[in-house]
Structure 1
């Protein structure tokens, strides 16, 4: 008996002595994390030092340890001490060191970057990158990145979309704090209602993404991460004015609430006041609309989702906006519906709310509930056409996260709801227009999903495999499989691949606003079905260092193959816009090559090249889709002085020629070339910092390039050839601006 007890004691002792702790070391960058190869991990009492390998993994022996505290360190980050509770796997995240330089605090000198931890290729646009331009709204936050191309969808009201892989913005999913808040009626002007001052990070993914947020992303995903109440500045003020006279005012404040200091709240206010009436090209139309906007946003956060127990986020937002565009003499309320003076008038109110609740039972089990809802009431006039839109949306997602071994399983249920009612009428009878009436678009989609993340070979290989089953209220079940793979050859080279499907319901008038502005008749040849597509892609990222220079080179290829697609056909007849499904061959092939060089932490040089081949085949003939430059170049240079007081930024964009809609059936004065001219835009900005104050000034489109005659039949807007669908370049010329920021940390 004693011998058996002694052997058991020896075995247990041997097991304890041979115990190995395994884990990963990360560095915090905004809301993103990166692995820290070369970091060190050791027991606080000393002993062998574990060096973090190229995949961020470390192993630490627990032989004879009595002082059970671990110290993790990496240059440029604050060391952290962690109490060890016997777990065999640890995930440690370090925070960057803040350095005070003559009153100016610098917490992160890196601009936009490609995430090293994400399985899919994820581009992170952080606050430092956003400071390189005025970034008045979300559409203006991509001037130094090449993956996203803002595109004007209506020149008169200046509605915009964000294109990825040369495809319309409807094919990439826009999320706000991980929730699908931009859809239907909110799509038309939604991205412009988010000022840059409430942005913490923007995450851009091309191609296939996770099934957790839904089935809609086809070309990619843009996730707007708003400011965090527990990390935001206590007070931030931002005032901006441009040479057209448009004014932007922003104010936000954050504070802790409650005795236990677990509640944090952020309140942000935003206002835009209209510009002067400017007609720089003398075509009789305003170069930019008269915009009036008021926005209030309140965000609450409770606890931390990395700690056991309950954590929560809540958000409330309200937007009121009015846009007036058209002929310079158009006066909005007084001229709405006039057949003598042409103009467009848009007014809407949009309340939104969301909630995210997490309950962490342990390191291995988390239950998460996310819900959101919005309403949108819009009244608009497009010449003599009156448009009324009413929309209600809701979304709910319940999921369970479970770690098993080194892997992570997420599964759950979701429900999407949309009720969109649109009313179109003409105050002046026009027998050539046959599309007046009421339109009802409904969406009722329950769904189930599951996604597993596999980690192999010390995280050299990470695979995400997921699938969804969703039931459309009319079209039945849709199966959406998606997979993403990352292979880290070493700390310098990362290869990625992805493949998956997506589908989406069409919201015709909100997603194609320009069709209501044209003199063309809208002809429906059949009922529109949901669009379906498959996307696959591969990428390689190479990170390197040479002395004080750090660099990143990246190349990717993505292809989108549609099974069913919709696009308004402007080529069939110059007097019509034909609405029909297209189930023939439709492809998008996109290549992008990026280079980033950072010299001595002060000078950043970025360059990118895009190649796009976006086409469909009609009767065996390849037809290139309009408004996509075959080749595009982007370059950006940013320089900061050592004390961070002065900063200079320049970015330039070159666009190759694009195919344009066919207008050869029009009379000679109203014809346009079959393709655009190549052109270049250059933007500059300078920033000066004084402790809590920042002054910035810049110029966009410094060479004053304008597309000639962007509006067809501008001299006769009520005539049969008036058309806004051939806009492909800048239309308002050079723009100067000045702004000031005041911040209390």
Structure 2
């Protein structure tokens, strides 16, 4: 591997040196095309209707397929590590499942949608961003801050909306093949065809395979979970009179994932002899929309997803099934300076597993959760002038257990004299919690789950100030995007890993929690040759709770960094058809879940960074090849720690001794008084690796 890195860097320097001596120039342009594109981007996530991005009263960040290509990844989950304020968080050192943190908030606070339809929640939150064919992604829209006023539960911390390509305008063929020196293999293919004059369809297949166990940190466990997954996505679109919408899409996802001791195999699945975490996932999604054939613009949108998970965490089974059905009518009407939008929504959630989450507390029989959640919402955008726009909205949902839930929001957009845009947003959010589908540590059995009380829905109150400024310059542009926010949570449920190292204790917070922060993105482009984006976030996430004496104390939750930075830089050698991308992120310290008072691992993570470099070469108009190095610094969490997985030599705790109070005893075999625990994780264990790929596009 080291020889590969040295050879690649030498070839890179030689190639760039030779090309730098060539004389290449661009014809002068009056305006940069990228600046025009940024000014005219269409977004839908902020208001549930298509508007120009700069006209939206809600700040929406947009990421194009070019962004995904800067650091080729086998999943959208990994690609989002380059979005400022967004961090993919691994929740387990063994099976490598994870979620997405926005502005320091845990993954369950983030709603993920495809084409605006909710397809990820609860059980599926771990896998919803895996296996979406990258070749079919038109753009990714990110809204930071509560969006419950439009999207309901789960949209407390933010929204990630994946917009797929329109079948009528998609390329005929899109192919991306990639492999790495870790023997990872990715195939991502998209094709388009016409079924008559008015019907178009696209089909995407995403296949990922990694079957080469590695243990570079020498703890006897796989550094990265072995994965074999395939995802098939098919979308149909009909051309109708008066451009009325009609689309339907279906996706099937299958994955066989396992991690554990290096000598684990399928015959040990569910046994207590060799430890492994094995997860079989079958998932089906259906989404679509249909504009009614009436004079008024009334749109019916729907989604359905089925998720079946068959897991074994050592000898502990977790069998979960979930059905989520969603339907929504929206009506958009313009009356003078008012843009009215109203909607009716209904969600059905069926959830069943083999844990205490669905057990009847009286009879101890299985009692699946069946919830109908109807809702109604209305919003009004009032345009006072070309510079001032006000949005006011209110949503009402009725939960069969928790009753009536109201989530209002208000937004104001002011286009200033210097062409900057100021947005002020305020609103509330709510979330109904399902612990066993959101906390991986609750599934593994490494700690006992304790629920101290009936858990109430979480509520939040948020205010967000955003300033966006585009400055056109000669042959390019400079863009600034700054945000400041404050969020207040009541009834927040945070897993308590500190009170007892053998337990995870859940209860509603007897106090409040806050999230305060500031982020800045700076983006520039010159002569269509140099492009870069540098972003940073500073945040303070706090839980304010009462201690045993009744005194209010402030605690930083685990796995929340105080600051972070991301960057992507691109230089194009036009005459040579060569592009160089340098991308990376940088994270400040975060508190980590120690497994006991004698645990020798660091209580806080160090400052750490993942950096990547890539070269892309065009071969004509249809084909390009690319290659590079991921994790240039070869950083892994084990550096500076004696170990990552607690008691990796005794994963079934067969040699752990307890005292009369049930506390782990310190023994010669167990000097730190620990039990097996894989939850000490904050970054990937995958070190430096090379990658190479080829893309082909036929329009």
TM exceeds 0.5?
yes
1:674 aligned onto 2:603: yes
How far off is 1:327 after superposition?
0.8
How far off is 1:147 after superposition?
2.8
Partner of 2:627: 697
Q: Distance in 2 between matches of 1:644 and 1:300?
A: 39
Residues 1:714 and 1:559: Cα distance change in structure 2 (over 3 Å): same
Q: Is the 8 A contact 1:533 1:563 kept in 2?
A: yes
Partner of 2:169: 231
The equivalences for 1:204-283 within 5 A come to 204-209=142-147, 211-258=149-196, 261-283=197-219
SS at structure 2 position matched to 1:197: helix
Of the three residues 249, 253, 272, the one matched with 1:315 is 249
Partner of 1:715: 649
Q: Distance in 2 between matches of 1:145 and 1:132?
A: 12
SS at structure 1 position matched to 2:446: coil
Q: Is the 8 A contact 1:684 1:698 kept in 2?
A: yes
Q: Distance in 1 between matches of 2:147 and 2:502?
A: 40
Q: Deviations over 1:353-373 (max 9, x none)?
A: 1220114756xx301000111
Partner of 2:612: 683
Q: Is the 8 A contact 1:249 1:271 kept in 2?
A: yes
Q: Distance in 2 between matches of 1:567 and 1:30?
A: 41
Q: Is the 8 A contact 1:174 1:182 kept in 2?
A: yes
Partner of 1:78: none
Q: Deviations over 1:698-735 (max 9, x none)?
A: 22111101111221221221125111222123312112
Which range is displaced more, 381-390 or 243-252? 243-252
Q: Distance in 2 between matches of 1:651 and 1:242?
A: 18
| Unaligned segments of structure 2, at least 5 residues | 1-34, 44-49, 357-363, 547-551, 657-674
Q: Is the 8 A contact 2:594 2:680 kept in 1?
A: no
Q: Distance in 1 between matches of 2:108 and 2:282?
A: 22
The equivalences for 1:425-444 within 5 A come to 438=366, 440-444=368-372
How far off is 1:637 after superposition?
0.9
1:128 aligned onto 2:71: no
Give the length in aligned residue pairs. Answer: 622
Partner of 1:640: 572
Partner of 1:142: 80
Q: Distance in 2 between matches of 1:146 and 1:156?
A: 27
Q: Distance in 2 between matches of 1:505 and 1:143?
A: 27
The equivalences for 1:98-113 within 5 A come to none
Q: Is the 8 A contact 2:510 2:545 kept in 1?
A: no
Of the three residues 374, 390, 398, the one matched with 2:321 is 390
Q: Distance in 2 between matches of 1:421 and 1:407?
A: 45
1:453 aligned onto 2:453: no
Partner of 2:695: 741
Q: Is the 8 A contact 1:712 1:723 kept in 2?
A: yes
Q: Deviations over 1:323-348 (max 9, x none)?
A: 011111111x2011221210001002
1:415 aligned onto 2:342: no
How far off is 1:159 after superposition?
1.2
How far off is 1:437 after superposition?
8.2
SS at structure 1 position matched to 2:215: coil
Partner of 2:42: 33
SS at structure 2 position matched to 1:180: strand
How far off is 1:27 after superposition?
6.8
Residues 1:687 and 1:437: Cα distance change in structure 2 (over 3 Å): farther
Which range is displaced more, 472-481 or 269-278? 269-278
How far off is 1:677 after superposition?
1.3
Q: Is the 8 A contact 1:156 1:344 kept in 2?
A: yes
Q: Comparing both structures, which one devotes a greater share of its residues to strand?
A: 1
How far off is 1:483 after superposition?
1.4
How far off is 1:438 after superposition?
4.9
How far off is 1:482 after superposition?
1.1
Q: Distance in 1 between matches of 2:438 and 2:379?
A: 30
Q: Is the 8 A contact 2:509 2:545 kept in 1?
A: no
How far off is 1:214 after superposition?
2.8
Q: Distance in 1 between matches of 2:422 and 2:97?
A: 37
TM-score (ref. length: structure 2): 0.85
Q: Is the 8 A contact 2:492 2:512 kept in 1?
A: no
Q: Which has the larger radius of gyration?
A: 1
Of the three residues 324, 327, 349, the one matched with 2:258 is 324
Question: Does 1 or 2 have the higher relative contact order (CA < 8 Å, sep 6+)?
Answer: 2
SS at structure 2 position matched to 1:663: coil
Q: Distance in 1 between matches of 2:58 and 2:365?
A: 44
1:338 aligned onto 2:271: yes
Of the three residues 275, 281, 296, the one matched with 2:232 is 296
Of the three residues 176, 182, 186, the one matched with 2:120 is 182
Of the three residues 421, 424, 438, the one matched with 1:494 is 421
Q: Distance in 1 between matches of 2:403 and 2:193?
A: 48
1:285 aligned onto 2:221: yes
